[in-house]
Chains A and B, each alone.
Chain A
Amino acid sequence: MIKRILIGTCMLLIVPVIALSAVDSIKIESHGTSRNKAGVGPVIFPHKLHKKSFKCAACHPKIFKAKLGGNSITMRQNMNKKFCGSPGCHNSPKAFPLFHCNKCHMKGK
């Protein structure tokens, strides 16, 4: 009986830890064909990290629609000051530059 309670408590402790680490990173992967041609993987967007430094309105709805897969992001637009490359973001001295491909894209296809 006590053993079960103990194991239960353990589980209760483990689950949130795993969940916390996985949740709130958004996988952006609409343009699979184009990415495969270029040999870069899906994008992992750390939502939590961004929420820490910016208010929601800094991004929603001006830059990104708050909907999973609701934005058709391409590198061409990123280069042209849209989405991730918006002014003051990854096309400026404020954040890492766009040519650090592997900081946004998972490696491989």
Chain B
Amino acid sequence: MKSFVRYTKTTLLFLLVLTVCIAVSGAFSDVESAQKRKKSSKIDPTNPCSVIYLDTKGNLAGVGDPNKPASLSYKKGRGWHPQALSANGLPKDRYGLIDWARLVRENLIKPRHALKAGVDEMPPLQMDVLIVAKGDFVDDVIYPHEMHTYWLKCEVCHPGIFIPAAGQNNMTMIGIVEGKWCGRCHNKVAFPLTDCSRCHVSPKKTSKK
């Protein structure tokens, strides 16, 4: 009788361990299949029918197919539909997005400063700020006021997003990716963060790696 109890106990233990094992391996294959599923729904940015319109949370905002309007504002914005714009032969960056900075530099557009005539426009501020990237190797960032103040007022950034004093903001790249500092605009309305070398332009003197 005693040994019977012992056998039942060990068998139960064995069964328990077995279920745990199966559950664990199941979880792993779950993760893998989840990754597979993700892959199959991946968007190809080089395909013009594919999405380039993501909302601020990174979710789909439109399908990029002119026959399938994303929203009601589609009709109004038809003339300024990003695809229509791209088809106009405007310069594009290496991701196929319109390069607004080059448009400005090459004088291809001249947007009006204000709705009312006669409002004085402040000329862009010509001041580059060196932002030293933490770490030993990555190129430092040169922040160009000129390109930004062409589009934006000082108050857009100062003092809400940046304290106007070099080196006082204690930025981090992780924070930028999470949507702080430069990430308030870049990856959303300005060129994407994937384009590392547009910000990281000034090689560190200490390292050639």
Residue positions of A touching B, CB distance < 8 A:
2-3, 6-7, 9-10, 13-14, 17, 20-21, 31, 33-35, 37-40, 49, 72, 74-77, 79-80, 91, 93, 97-102
Contacts and interface: CB of A to CB of B under 8 A. Distances in A.
A101 B209 contact: no
Contacts of A98: 194, 196
A39 B172 CA distance: 8
Interface residues of B, number: 38
B193 A99 contact: yes
Contacts, number: 89
30 contacts: A3-B6, A6-B14, A9-B14, A13-B18, A13-B21, A14-B17, A14-B21, A17-B25, A20-B25, A21-B24, A31-B137, A34-B135, A37-B135, A38-B134, A38-B135, A38-B174, A75-B138, A76-B207, A76-B209, A77-B209, A79-B138, A79-B200, A80-B197, A93-B46, A97-B194, A98-B194, A98-B196, A99-B173, A99-B187, A102-B174
Contacts of B45: 93
